[in-house]
Chains A and B, each alone.
Chain A
Amino acid sequence: MELLYAASVGILVSCGVFLILRSRTFPVVLGLTMLSYAVNLFLFSSGRLSLNSAVVLGHSSEYADPLPQAFVLTAIVIGFAMTAFVVILAIRGRADLGNDHVNGQVPENKVKR
């Protein structure tokens, strides 16, 4: 199971980084979202994986680590705030600059669609 989990995190990181390296804003936003999934899963896993042991007192005999969970919960919400901000920034950038290239201008030698 651990291997599968780690592989999933790795794949998410790869896909996220690849998308972040694209030249248009929307894929970059998707990439950031993907990378934040990966980061959340990674942080969460620092409490190790445990099955059927939710940290609600009295509901199970052993408990998972609650601290990474609390941190990741915060991270998810902040990640949402960040994604929202970035995507609105992308809209604003498109509106002000006339294109959605991350550098603010479409390179000369590239054909504009």
Chain B
Amino acid sequence: MTLLWIPLLSLIGSIISSMTGKLTRNQSTSLSLLMPFIALCITISFAPAVFSGEEVRETISWIPLLGINIAFRLDGLALLFVFMIITIGILVIFYARYYLSSKDSMPKLYSYLMLFMTAMLGIVMSNNVIQLWFFWELTSISSFLLISYWWYKSEARKGAIMALTITGGGGLALLAGLLIISNIVGSYSLDVILASRELIQSHNLYEVALILVLLGAFTKSAQFPFHFWLPHAMAAPTPVSAYLHSATMVKAGIFLLARFYPALAGTDIWFIIVSLTGMTTLLFGAYVALFKHDLKGLLAYSTISHLGLITLLFGLNTELATVAAIFHIINHATFKASLFMATGIIDHETGTRDMRKINGMWRYMPYTATLAMVAAASMAGVPLLNGFLSKEMFFAETLHQQLLGSMSWIIPVLATIAGAFSVAYSARFIHDVFFNGDPIDLPKEPSEPPRYMRVPIEILVALCLLVGIFPNFIVDDILTSASFAVLGGYVPEFKVSLWHGFNLPLLMSAFAVTGGLFMYTQRRHLFTFQASLPPLNAKKAFDNSIYVMIKWCQRKIGAIENGSLQRYLMLMFLIVLLGAGWPLFEMHELVGTKELTPVSMHSAVGAALLMIGAISTVIWYRTRMVSLLMISVVGLMVSVAFTRFSAPDLALTQLTVEVVTIVLLMLALFFLPQRSPKESSSMRIIRDISISAGLGIVVGSICYALITRPFESISNFFIANAKTGGGGTNVVNVILVDFRGFDTLGEICVLGIAALGISKLLINLPLFMPGSDSEGRPWARERYPILLASISQSLLPLALLVSVYIFLRGHNLPGGGFIAGLITAIAFILQYIAHGSNWISERLTINYRKIIASGLAIALLTGVGSWFFGRPFMTTWFDYFDIPFIGNIELASALVFDLGVYITVVGATLMILAHLGELTANAPKEEVNI
């Protein structure tokens, strides 16, 4: 379990920091540092095991059938990244304490930073590719939050959106690539994938998968041509830049290259794509960095360039190049983080980051200047510093490849040129900022920063020096174990040392340094040359392409979605018509082999009535009252049909529902126009008739084909077990309350929700209350006819008695909770109609919401009750009892469940109708023309 704690602690830290708003800055910082610190200690405790070649694994089974597990592993590579992520994270948190002004929210930054830390830890430690991808996307999202930390600044928002778009898009490509790879090897486990190199590379989808995975890696690590989000992400606070662009976010892309190196690398296509991308990025970044006047802009392009260098090393397909790449990951993280932090101090103390204004800082902050200069020298690759060592290894490796055949010499030459540029921009960073005359128009008088703000930089610069001077002593173990992991269990002989003797790489370094310094002294000419080039504004191009894409989508959406529901419905019906109609043509015979039932006179008359009712509803559809009457005929005939075809329960339900529906629709008609205007053109009528006729024919044919074919039903089970298992002889009711009681529970929930929704819809309803009917005749003055009132009142007890009877017999004879509930509801509705809702509310105050709730509660608790007897949810129980005077009687828990159904149905039905009815009684009478 301990491995899991590393990301978990960081997540807990994120939550804790978000709650430290009330504390002082120091308290908040110390509290925030606590969790990463514990995580670091745990990581260190794993280090000896990992260094000795062990891989620590932990798996929690989640959805084992789909192969989805929460799986973590810690090998050398992961350990190296975990170290970097947590250590630099701790330093950044500490640094941010002094960087943030009192206006900025500290808990917010800390919380986002640690969320990001969690995501990064998740990426490097995942042993399941889906999980890896999940954390990958989490870094995109949390970096979005971090970059847009100063959300009120336009460039921060834009930069954040750009970063999210590019890296998120790359993430989707990565997902596709990972899915293809998992499909090839048949597992989501990273262990399996890394061990299946031959299988993956011989598969014909290898190229596709490789390109997709590389797209993910390149967008994240800002490789050309996806690099442009990184400079715009500089709108973030400097601690964020220091964290994201030295050790974490961009390194996630590099990590991906390293992680999948054993499975994907070694082929020609890998070499071509990876090394060419890396080389282009290296040169491009180094060149552009020289011309940036913004300090952070310079560092941003320098970061791009160094990422290109690492990518190029991975692309060279040699073992030592891979070792060099891993070494440079460490070195770049240390010197770049310290440089960003130093830039933050300069920005903090001078109020600007423009190198044309910031000059001569040596006099104001000599201490910071020294630190920054050492770090910059490391970036340039000056001896005695760690940057020199990995750069030297890089130069050596460019010499040791034969990948471009006779043109292979071009790689070391280009590498030297890139090296010269990086010396030039490092020189500019040092000379322009700390020397080169006096500062110009600074917004603030600069001075040394608070003492502790420099501590993180001091630590990092000390590391640069220590690694640079005693490389074997400091990094040997971790470099070996990380290379061991990347190269798949084999480490070449390598020796990192300061002095290799006079050789070609040293000469290249010398060329780079002198060339770079020369370039810097001649920078005026270069700047003029650069200024004469056409400006290349990536942001504008990005914005434009996004704009064009959105416009395109809007046009397409506009073409499909014009706001007319009528049209959508028509299109959907058309699709149904085609989808359902097509298979009919492939059927040989419509009539099945089942013996047909003879037509009887009653059935023919019933069917004729039903059809006439339906057609009349359509014919008089504009006279709404008439069509309502006609549709009630249809409903009635449907219930007759159920009776005829041996479904008494259905017939009863249909009949009662029909009554309630028609009353409801009549009530509704009062609030709606009485007539529909003539609107449809003749063409539209023809079109609609064709669609509806077509659908009718198709559905009718399917129905005919279905019912004339014999079939095997699973229902024999229910028939056989209804009495013995469910204790009832009415099989339909036993199915409802017992076998499939869960369905019924869901259904009464739907009913309750619909009723609640309706009562909410009726709140504050501005009503059209016609004073007369559509012909202009006033409503009858006698609202509640005395005859109806007296009859309905005397009917009420009778109706209630009937409903109790229907309810009780339901288990054994047609009836049950639904039907009884509807009968009760109808009995009450009749009272509402006869007396008006005011009359009712004077006599009876009912909270229908509570009724629905209690009905649902009874049904649910009956189901839960079976748990207490150690049975699954909704197991029913029944037994027979001898009760004096009444006789032998059956008691079943299903009856209690049915009572819940009954109460819910009563409550919901009455709530719907009574609420609507009350509106007519309470709303002020006003004449509205319709």
Contact = CB atoms under 8 A, between A and B. Distances in A.
Interface string B609-626: 011001101100110100
Contacts of B618: 15, 18-19
Nearest to A112: B677
Given A2-B704, A34-B614, A66-B718, A55 B566 contact: no
B743 A74 contact: yes
Nearest to A1: B597
Given A2-B708, A53-B646, A77-B751, A87 B813 contact: no
A96 B624 CA distance: 21
Nearest to B697: A10
A34 B696 CA distance: 12
Contacts of B564: 103
Given A23-B566, A56-B731, A4 B700 contact: no
Interface string A84-113: 110111111011100010110001001111
A21 B573 contact: yes
Contacts of B861: none
B642 A94 contact: no
Contact of B736 (A6, A9, A46, A70): A70
Interface stretch (B193-201, B663-671, B836-844): B663-671
Contacts of B622: 27
Contacts of A95: 671, 765-768
Interface of B is mostly: helix
A28 B169 CA distance: 43
Contact of A18 (B642, B688, B714, B757): B688
Contacts of B765: 91-92, 95
B596 interface: yes
Interface in A1-60: 1-27, 29-30, 33-34, 37-38, 40-42, 44-58
B711 interface: yes
Given A82-B754, A90-B668, A11 B715 contact: no
B100 interface: no
Contact of A85 (B614, B624, B679, B758): B758
B691 interface: yes
B658 to A, nearest CB: 9
Contacts of A1: 596-600, 603
Given A30-B628, A52-B646, A57-B729, A4 B607 contact: yes
B624 A26 contact: yes
Interface residues of A, number: 88
B679 A23 contact: yes
Given A1-B596, A11-B611, A95-B766, A102 B812 contact: no
B641 to A, nearest CB: 7
A47 B631 contact: no
Contacts of A21: 566, 569-570, 573, 688, 691-692
Interface stretch (B6-14, B432-440, B648-656): B648-656
Contacts of A19: 617-618, 621
A5 B604 CA distance: 9
A83 B754 CA distance: 10
A85 B570 CA distance: 22
Most buried by A among B635, B645, B695: B645
A5 B617 contact: no
Interface in B697-733: 697, 699-701, 703-704, 706-708, 711, 713-715, 718-719, 722-723, 729-732
A91 B671 contact: yes
Interface residues of B, number: 111
A23 to B, nearest CB: 5
Nearest to B652: A73
Given A13-B695, A14-B692, A54-B814, A69 B732 contact: yes
Interface in B737-770: 740, 743-744, 747, 750-751, 754-755, 757-758, 761-762, 765-768
A64 B696 contact: no
- Between A56, A77, A83, the greatest number of chain B beta carbons within 10 A of the residue's beta carbon is seen for A77
Given A48-B711, A69-B647, A74-B744, A37 B635 contact: yes
B735 interface: yes
A18 B502 CA distance: 91
B755 to A, nearest CB: 8
Contacts of A27: 621-622, 624, 627, 676
B689 interface: yes
B672 A91 contact: yes
B634 interface: yes
Interface in B203-223: none
Contacts of A76: 650, 653-654, 657
B672 A6 contact: no
Interface-centre pick from A29, A89, A112 (highest chain B CB count, 10 A): A29
A44 B617 contact: no
Contacts of B695: 13-14, 17
A24 B676 contact: yes
B472 interface: no
B300 to A, nearest CB: 50
B288 interface: no
Contact of A57 (B671, B706, B731): B731
Contacts of B641: 5, 8, 41
A90 B670 CA distance: 12
Contacts of B165: none
Contact of A17 (B672, B691, B751): B691
A89 B761 contact: yes
Contact of A51 (B566, B646, B707): B646
A40 B649 CA distance: 14
Contact of A47 (B597, B671, B715): B715
B672 A70 contact: no
B692 A17 contact: yes
Given A19-B621, A34-B634, A92-B765, A85 B691 contact: no
A58 to B, nearest CB: 6
B858 interface: no
Nearest to B641: A41
B607 A8 contact: yes
Contacts of B634: 12, 34, 37
B631 A30 contact: yes
Nearest to B668: A87
B916 A88 contact: yes
Contacts of A9: 699-700, 703
A86 B673 CA distance: 16
B660 interface: yes
B761 A77 contact: no
B661 interface: yes
Given A2-B704, A57-B722, A76-B653, A51 B676 contact: no
A93 to B, nearest CB: 10
Contacts of B573: 17, 20-21
A11 B615 contact: yes
Nearest to B643: A54
B903 interface: no
Given A37-B635, A63-B731, A94-B768, 16 more contacts: A2-B707, A3-B596, A5-B607, A10-B700, A10-B701, A15-B692, A16-B692, A21-B570, A24-B679, A26-B668, A26-B669, A30-B621, A38-B699, A77-B751, A82-B754, A88-B762
14 contacts: A4-B604, A6-B707, A10-B700, A11-B610, A22-B621, A24-B673, A33-B631, A66-B719, A72-B647, A72-B650, A77-B747, A81-B750, A83-B665, A84-B754
Interface of B: 563-566, 569-570, 573, 594, 596-600, 603-604, 607, 610-611, 614-615, 617-618, 621-622, 624, 627-628, 631, 634-635, 638, 641-642, 644-650, 653-654, 657, 660-661, 664-665, 668-669, 671-673, 675-677, 679-680, 688-689, 691-693, 695-697, 699-701, 703-704, 706-708, 711, 713-715, 718-719, 722-723, 729-732, 735-736, 740, 743-744, 747, 750-751, 754-755, 757-758, 761-762, 765-768, 812-814, 818, 905, 908, 912, 916
5 smallest CB-CB distances across A and B, nearest first, come from A10-B700, A14-B696, A6-B704, A81-B754, A17-B692
